[in-house]
Structures are given as structure tokens and as C-alpha cells.
Copies of this chain bind each other. A is one copy, B any other.
């Protein structure tokens, strides 16, 4: 009896393991013989990434030994040297630096903010927005007017004169894709100071672009547009929890005085580089498939998910092709773009030089949505090529890549857009991305090794398929 009971227990426990095992099996029965070959190569990319992948250690080096690397900073310059050396180490056929002048904004001293309510001084986690001007040396004090959107601010007009305008539009948490929620709010951050400066406001403070409630101010770029200098006003982000608290405190005391101080400034443009390396194509070396992420990052945090992961994944695509002896027909070019965060000057320079040199880009793939678990790709291409990419779903779905959909690609490759080029954005799961985005918590420890490697292999698989199938079949030529 004891034996039977123990056996039953053992079966129950081992059964429980087995029962959890049933997803993600790769079935090849519905594939053509050519697709079976593709399936085998794709499996090899995943196997290699998960057992001999380099991206995680590359990322550790970039984030922990260099760290945050805002355009124009010494860290960004170090990252260029690091990237060039790494591409050479991977054994790309050629590696070079493409010069580009970049904006050079510096944060200065750590920002301060507080207000007093019920005789208690409340400290507010705050950070300047990129391109903002400083406050006067002694800071700014003023009454606060809360609004939820740019439209609401515009409607208030002159009532904002002399006030600190507090943009408190929160993410729409019901949107499953958090990038949509970001898209619905980021206008406040980008244009709040331009709109309110025009209306004579004293400054703007913006609720951080993040899901939920946390204690970190999230920076990001803003613009004064064509606002004359005398109307430009300081702009900063406060944490979402501070925004909630301030909103409540304003209900109790609409006249409370908010104080903040920041010493950021924009210096003259600085020289920098895109880092470029390539594997020469065996059949059509003049045709280029570009794969990239951006090397610069915000100064807060270590630029891990934004976009250290995209950088190391892009290079790992080349590593995985080489390691598996894939000789691409077209040239596979890896680009570490400079200055995506505040100017996209690297992207513009890359596209400009491509045009000047009559380069033929057949495709581009960008990873700039974090290093989380794979979900799919977003395709910006003509109808035939969009359908072609979608047709690879049966090969990619076993790896969690179900979302092959029409959409944008990414800020760094989209300047290459025309009717002949197939541009694709890598789309990992978005749930955790805005926990870290542009803030001090975007650090190496937030990146899971397997999720990162699965992303590299996903990207390598797509590049392999694009190299093999784009422009080889009359039906899918643009």
C-alpha cells in the first residue's frame, strides 16, 4: 500500500512537470521541403543563441563598464570605440565609423524639487527633460496649474501666465501594448514647454511616461520648436507617485508653491559616429540588409533596455549567421546608430550617406523596444513584401513570434523608407518596458539572459528569411 501511494505521488509530481511542458513544440509536418530547411536553420539560430550567445556578456560590458551614454558625452565616445572593437572581434568583413555631429545637452547638477503643505516639506523626485533650459540659479517657485493634455493647456490660454503648468495625463492602462499608452501621453513631454512658453507660463512639470505608480522620474526629449529664446521655459519630469500626490495636494491647497531647480544646458554640437560593420553578400554584395539599434542612451540608468539590448542583439545577428556558416546573398550590415534619443542625427546621416553613395537598401530591421520575450515583428513595406513577411509566421510562431503585422519599423531605419525597401521593427513583449524607460532603473540586472538571446535569434531568423526570399521571386518584387 505504501508503495502504491508513493508511486502515485511520484507520478503526480512528475506528471505535474510534464503537464506544464506542452507549449512551443516545433511541428514541421505542414512545411514544404524548402521550408523544412529554413526551419532547421532557424532552430540552429535559437540553439546557438541560447547556448553560445554573446549578447548578454556584451551588454554587461556596455552597461556596467560604460553605463549611460548620452550623445556628446565621454561615455558615448567610449561606446563608439567599444562598438568598433566588438564588431572587429566578431570578425565582420569590414568595420568603419561614420562621422556625425550630434546635439550635446548636459544635465548639470542633480535637480531638486519640493513644495510645502500642512507645514511639511514634500520632496519631489524630478529630472530635467532633454533640451530643457535651466531654471535661474536659485530655482523657480510658483503656483501650479494642473492639466491633463496639451489641448487642455491650450484652452486655458492666458490663465497659465506666470504659472508652473503641471501636465498630469496618465498612461491609459487598458491598452495592452504599452507603447500605445506612451504614444497617447508623450506629446505633453515633447511639446508641453513649447505650448505653455507661448502662453507665458513660468515652467512645466510633466508626469513621468510610465505605467502605474513608481518613484522614478523618467526623462526624455522635448522641443521648444520655433519658440523665441525669451519665451523658452524650463521643463522637467516628476515621478508618477509624486504626480498623484501633487494632484491630491492641489485639491486641498490650490495655491501651494512648487519649487524646483535644474542647471541643464545645451552646448555646441559635438562630433560623434555611427558604428558600422558588414558581412559582404555572396551574390548581390551591392544590396544591403541593415540591422541595428541605437548606441546612445539617456544619462540616467545604464541604457540597458533602451537600447543596449538592441545594439547587442543586432551584432549577435551577424554572429549567429557566421557561427552557423550562413553566407548571405546580400550584404548584411550592422549599424549602431548614434543619437536616437535626442535628435536621430545618426539615422539621418546614415540615410543621407546611403543616398549620396547610391546604396541599395533592400531591407532593414531595428530593435528598439526593449530586450523582453519575443512577440513578433512590425512590417513597413509594400503590399507584396508585407504579405511575404507575414507568410513566414508558420516558421516563426514556434518561437513565440505570432504578431507579424503591418506597422512602423523604428526611428533609426525609417529614414530609409521607400517603396522598394522592407523595413521591420522587432517587437518583444511590452509590459515591463516603461517601468525602466529613460530612468535610473534601466540597468543590466533588468535584462533576462534568455529573453535577450531569444530576441537575437528571432532577428537572425528574420534576416535569414529576408536575405533568402526578398527580391528572388517575381511575384514579390515591388
Contacts and interface: CB of A to CB of B under 8 A. Distances in A.
A181 to B, nearest CB: 9
B407 A191 contact: no
B14 A373 contact: no
A105 interface: no
B9 A180 contact: no
Contact of A176 (B6, B22, B46, B176): B46
Interface stretch (A233-241, A324-332, A393-401): A393-401
B183 A20 contact: yes
A190 B226 contact: no
Nearest to A3: B226
A410 B221 CA distance: 48
A376 to B, nearest CB: 6
B180 A21 contact: yes
Indicate how many identical chains form the complex. 2
Nearest to A429: B373
A397 B403 CA distance: 9
Contacts of A178: 450
Contact of A2 (B13, B173, B226, B449): B226
Contacts of A10: 190-191, 223, 225
B402 A402 contact: yes
A22 B12 CA distance: 43
A473 B50 CA distance: 46
Contacts of A182: 17, 20-21
Interface string A369-387: 1000101101010000000
Contacts of A211: 449-450
> 5 closest Cβ contacts across the A-B interface?
A19-B408, A22-B407, A16-B411, A20-B179, A402-B402
